[in-house]
Amino acid sequence: YLLRQRYADERRCLIGDAALTSPVPLGDPSPPYDRGCPAGSASGGADAGPDGSTNHLTVVDRWGNVVSYTNTIEQIGGSAIAVPGWGFLLNNELTDFDPAPIHPPAPDPNLPAGGKRPRSSMAPTILERDGRPWLAVGSPGGASIITTVLQILVDRIDFGMTLPQAIAAPRASQRDSATTEAEPAFVAAYGDQLESRFGQAFGPIDAIGNATGIEIRRDGTLVAAAEPVRRGGGDAEVLHRR
């Protein structure tokens, strides 16, 4: 399917005279194919597809050991350097340091130096209940990771949603700025109230985060959940060995 001319023609429609302003979504090489190029298809960019630089996985084994693991190479392709003989890419996390003090002459602890780690928004989380693991969750998403994880926990714990409902719920991300990033469904549900009561301004964004999570019930059974729609949907499974 990848080598079929009709699929190549479909992807060629995304190539225009100007560079796109956002990543191109992953293609589906299986038929049916679009037979023509929609007007303006190559001129305005496309919605971002699945994250290509950061990912998160959540795992619970049959003995109850829990892993909540976020890893990243910082941007697509990382530093563009692969380790000879091993084939994996080195990250580009130096860009998470501040290249110069933000508020001179005040000291900036996030300047690059030997032995230092850059500031990070990664928030792989494991919650305990009665001294035992109860809920594990995390997400990619750069600076929006912390707000993504926080909203899932608030929806699950304070608002009584199930874990799948909490992960699927619309999100916003306020990071000490005049405008709050928010998904369209969040603005539609809460925008008018927040704007009228608090004067909050929103900047629309298609998707925030790409979370996975597992909840361990009191009877030892598991609830695994991932995004149902965001960035093409995630994967959540419970494997039963016979």
Residues annotated as part of the active site: 54
67 touches 58 (CB < 8 A)? yes
- Cα separation of 41 and 46, whole Å? 9
Non-local (6+) Cβ contacts of 72 within 8 A are 53, 54, 55, 91, 93, 122, 140
Strand ranges across the sheet with 201-204: 172-173, 179-182, 201-204
Helix residue spans in the chain (DSSP H)? 5-12, 145-153, 163-168, 184-186, 192-198
DSSP helix/strand/coil, 197: helix
